[in-house]
Amino acid sequence: MNGPRFLADPEWSIWRTNWFVNKVFVLACFVLVLYAALRRPEGFRASR
């Protein structure tokens, strides 16, 4: 990437867009799992 200049003059190719969408999706999934784990921790404990 171009560093800070990327925001001023973005270069959107299909691969860069795919990379960006993937990062947003993974971060959103992580936030949802973290929220669920903090909200109901008993659902994330291993049962033996």
Domain boundaries, the chain: 12-39
What is the pTM (predicted TM-score) of this model? 0.64
20: helix, coil or strand? helix
- C-alpha distances out from residue 3 to 6, 20, 47, Å: 6, 14, 46
Q: What is the pLDDT of residue 4?
A: 63
Q: What is the pLDDT of residue 44?
A: 80
Q: What is the pLDDT of residue 6?
A: 64
pLDDT (tens place) for every residue of the chain, 48 residues total = 556 666 677 778 899 889 989 999 999 999 999 999 999 888 888 776
